[in-house]
Structures are given as structure tokens and as C-alpha cells.
Amino acid sequence: MNRRPGVLLGAALALAALLGSALPATAAPSGGSPRPVVTVAQGALRGQSRDGAQEFLGVPYAAPPVGEARLRTPTPPPRWHGTREASRQAPACLQFSPFGLSDPGAVSEDCLYLDVYRPRGARPGARLPVIFWMHGGAYSQGTGTQFGGRTMADLTGSVVVSINYRLGQLGYLALPELRRRGEGGSGSFGLMDQLAALRWTRENIGAFGGDPGGVTVSGQSAGSGSVCALLAAPSAAGLFHRAVLQSGPCTLLRTPDSAAAEAQARAFASRVGCSAPAEVAGCLRAVSGAALVEAARTLPTSGPASGDGLLPVEPARAIGSGAWNKVPVLIGSTRAEARFFVALTQPHLTAEQYAAQVLAGYGAAGPEVLARYPVADHGSPYLALSALLTDSTFACHTAWTAQLFASQVPTYVYEFDDPRSPTLAGAQVPGLDESNAHSAELAYLYDFTMGDRPLTPVQTALGNRMKRYWAAFARFGVPAVPGQTPWPAAGAGADAGTVFTLDPVATRTVTSFGADHQCAFWRTQPPARL
């Protein structure tokens, strides 16, 4: 295969991610109405009690981006009269790489909604920590409705907000003809949606008992890439106070510059029959959603672009320069991220194919790469290539991104390591071990709807520990939980420094992460063609 790892991983992401003790009792009062009502800026919302928490579902944070509002900056949602029912989740945004939805037909361009979960009996003024979640899915698929926050809210006394944002070319289309003065003249509408949801949260979360001055922005995979963008976006300053990056390090998920993004956008517009510059905006707003999805099938979705007024500098470069929205950071990856991608793209790889691919992809360094990742040491070509790609991409880039953060702000690094973890439903390949792969940790943190099997009691216990660490970080900026293993901050030294291993049997601190993943070697290697 004659593709760079980033291209391979991006293509697989488009299939994939669709892919102690609790906090003080005063933070989560007991009781509460079975049909709680809160009043936000737009009107009253009636939620519901479920599984020990209260949830407010399908809450609009922006006006529907449909018709003439398609491919425009989001605007505030309209007010309503009376009490709006908030007991049903909204449709997913239009999916450009459909995968994993329980109801594939439950998609719409009218999708700018969020779900709020809070502890039972929470009251305005409680100032509970807020965990603001952005789903992954290669910027082309997924929905916030797959990530319930009931257990997190009930267990930790926190408020969880899970959002939808526009995807594919409806969310990221860098055509100058679409740009306006708002948001600095950008085509990154998905990023604008995330900013709009954060502004809505700042304005309204106090009504749910959340602390508008204690918002933790968090995401996994493309959602983590979105966190990177928010860290570098000047207009995001002050909208959040901590950041969690799961399996999406900023040095790996690079943004295209404005010229490359515009070239991609022009190719898409031409494919859909909208090539005349003077008419392209109106043409794109008139085309059916189905036609847009069809046109995007063989074209990449790049996510937010840098080099415009919304995101002036590529996030990794902005962070490295010190010119970013500095907040404490929690960052990590899973032990065997790339198993998922290799299982989806090369499940039946032979030893001969593996060797030929590595030699062709790494040129003069190929023999050394094969010597470092021999099939005999890993048990199969699938596992050998998975280890190679995990180390050279997610693992070491997590270490290198953590280094950038750790020299400037308190930084906490983890590696999720459960050798019996579930994978995503519908993505299992018979005979292949996909444990610890990309997305493995999601079921441990959220009421996740895409796991291929329920967690065992031991795994549930690990998940509860993880929830408490995450919530403590959201509350204090430090993942310190009484009675649980201390999680020290990472140093600013070489490679990963101090890494916290999240293991169901022995949660522990390690300093060998860089050596375990051969990061010193990978830092010297140029990108391969695999």
C-alpha cells in the first residue's frame, strides 16, 4: 500500500470511532423530582430522572443550520414558550461515513443539540464541575448521544454535557465564498459549533447546578483533535478551564493549512456540481444532503483548517510556541491503539506481506524497523504491524504532545491497559485480539452505547476509578482521589516522563513509557509510506 500512516489512520478513523471515594456528599444532593424543570436563556426545560441521575436531552444550543443557514456560522437558538420537553435525544448530524448508529435513519442536518446529565437533586448555585464532551469519528461520523453521562454524574457529583456538531463537508469546507466576518472568516463550521455549545454552556450551565467557571473540555480521537483546536483558537479563551485529550495527540492530528483545505473543498464542490465560484455558495446550499454524502465518499474530511481568523496557527505549533489557551491538561492513549485500524484494513496480513510493506515503506530504515518489530516477538503479522503503528503514531505522539504541555502547565498522562477490554460493536474480526485498541476506554468513562459486550465487575470497578479521577481533575485540575492510587504530574523531560497506567488489577505509575514504545527511535524516523 502506497499511503502515509496518517492517511491510513484517517481512513480507518472514518470507519472506527462511529465510530477511592466519591466527591463530597454536598456536591450531589439526594432526592429530586422525577420530572425536574430548569430554566435556561431560551425558556423552561423538563427533563427526567433515570438511573440515579437527571438528564435533559435534545437541548438546542444553536439554531438549525438548514436551508440558507447551511454552511454558515451558527446563531443562537430561538426562544420557546411554555415548557419544552427534554426527554428524547436529538438526531445525529448527517453522517458522511455512516457506522455504528443504532438507527441509521436517525440523522438530520437539524442536529445542533446537546444532552445534560446532573446528579439527582442538584440545584442552581451548586457550582458542580462540568465535563463538556465532544465525540470522535474522524470529523465525519458519530454523535454525542452515544455517550451518556448518568453514571459519571451520579458517582462523582459532576455535570456532563455531550454535544453534536456538524460533520464532514457540512462541518469543514474551507471555501472563501462561504466565509464571513463572523469567526474570522473560517469554513470550520464544526469548530464554530463547538464554540457555540461552549458559550451556551457558560451562559446556562448554572441553571443545572454546574459551575460556568469550572468547565473541562474533553474529547476522544477527532474529539481530542477538536480539543487541540480549541486550545489554539483565540476566541475560545475563557470558555473552559481544563482539557482532556483521549487518543488524539495534537502533534499527530495535524490540521491542514488554509491552502490545502481550500483545494480539498474545491474538489468536493466540483464533485457535487458546484464549481462556478460566483454561484458555489448558493449551489451548495441547494444540493440535497444525500448528494453531499455521496460526493464525499472518496474525498477526505480534514477537520478544522488552520491559517484563518478562527484558528490562525496550527495547534501543535501554537502550543509549542506558548501562544495558546493555557489550562491544566490530562492526556493519554490506549495500549494497543492501532489494532483497531489494522483489523479493519489488513486483517489477513501475511508475514511476507508485512515484511514487504515495512521494507517498502521505510526504505533504508526498513530492516531496522523489522528487527525492532519481528513477527516472532508479537505472535502474528497483525499484532506486529499493530504494535509498530501504535508506537510510531498514537503512543509516541501522546508522549511528545504531553512534553509540550508539561513544560507550561500541570499535565497528567495515562495509558489505558486492560488486556480483556471490549471493542466497538460491529467492528470485531473473528480470530483477532482487538483489546486495548482505539476507543477501548470509552465504555469505562461513559454510558457508552457501542461496546460489543458489557463490562465485567472488575472492569466496572476500573471504570468507576477512572470516572473519579476524571471528575477530580475537572473539579480541582488535579486527578487526586482520596483512597486511590496517587497520580503524579508528568515531568517535562524526554519522551513521556511519568505515565499513569490504568489497569483493572494494578493501577500504577511507570516511567518506562517512552522505552516501552521505542519513542527515541521513532523521533528520528520520517513518516513512512505504508
Q: Rounded mean pLDDT of 167-186?
A: 84
More confident: 14 or 362 = 362
SS3 call for 334? strand
258 is known as an active-site residue: no
Residue 331 within a domain: no
Q: Could you say which of 162, 186, 221, 302 is catalytic?
A: 221
What single DSSP character describes residue 54?
Answer: E
Do residue 64 and residue 162 come from a single domain?
yes
Domain around 364: 1-30+336-399+414-472+497-530
Query: pTM of this prediction?
Result: 0.93
Do residue 341 and residue 310 come from a single domain?
no
Residue 168 within a domain: yes
For the chain, the domain total comes to 2
Last residue of some domain: 282, 315, 348? 315
Amino acid 488: pLDDT: 95
Amino acid 105: pLDDT: 77
Q: Rounded mean pLDDT of 437-457?
A: 96
Do residue 5 and residue 100 come from a single domain?
no
* Residue 10 predicted with pLDDT over 50: no
Q: Rounded mean pLDDT of 143-156?
A: 97
Q: Rounded mean pLDDT of 385-412?
A: 97
Do residue 25 and residue 38 come from a single domain?
no
* Residue 24 predicted with pLDDT over 50: no
295 Cβ contact partners less than 8 Å away, ≥ 6 residues apart: 169, 268, 271, 272
CA dihedral 434, 521, 375, 440 (to 10 degrees): 0
Do residue 220 and residue 305 come from a single domain?
yes
- % of the chain surpassing 70 pLDDT: 92
Q: Which sign, positive or negative, has the C-alpha torsion 220, 222, 225, 230?
A: negative
Do residue 100 and residue 1 come from a single domain?
no
Residue 485 within a domain: no
Residue 387 within a domain: yes
Residue 322 within a domain: no
Do residue 354 and residue 502 come from a single domain?
yes
Mean pLDDT of the chain: 91
Q: Rounded mean pLDDT of 80-84?
A: 97
* Residue 23 predicted with pLDDT over 50: no
* Residue 55 predicted with pLDDT over 50: yes
At position 196, the amino acid (one-letter code) is A
DSSP run (H or E) holding 222: helix 222-232
Residue 436 within a domain: yes
Last residue of some domain: 315, 350, 366? 315
User: Which of 334, 331, 332 has the alpha carbon at shortest distance from 440?
Assistant: 334
Q: How does residue 19 score in pLDDT terms, banded at 50, 70 and 90?
A: very low
User: Which of 343, 342, 252 has the alpha carbon at shortest distance from 527?
Assistant: 252
Q: Rounded mean pLDDT of 463-476?
A: 98
Amino acid 1: pLDDT: 35
* Residue 162 predicted with pLDDT over 60: yes
Amino acid 191: pLDDT: 98
Amino acid 146: pLDDT: 96
C-alpha triplet 182, 183, 189: angle, nearest 5°: 105
Residue 259 within a domain: yes
Amino acid 50: pLDDT: 94
CATH code of the domain covering residue 211: 3.40.50.1820
More confident: 121 or 202 = 202
Q: How does residue 14 score in pLDDT terms, banded at 50, 70 and 90?
A: very low
Last residue of some domain: 315, 350, 377? 315
* Residue 319 predicted with pLDDT over 80: yes
Do residue 148 and residue 237 come from a single domain?
yes
Amino acid 187: pLDDT: 93
**Per-residue b or e along 79-117, where b marks 16 or more CB atoms closer than 10 Å to that residue's CB:** eeeeebebeebbbbbbbbbebbbeeeeebbbbbbbbbbb
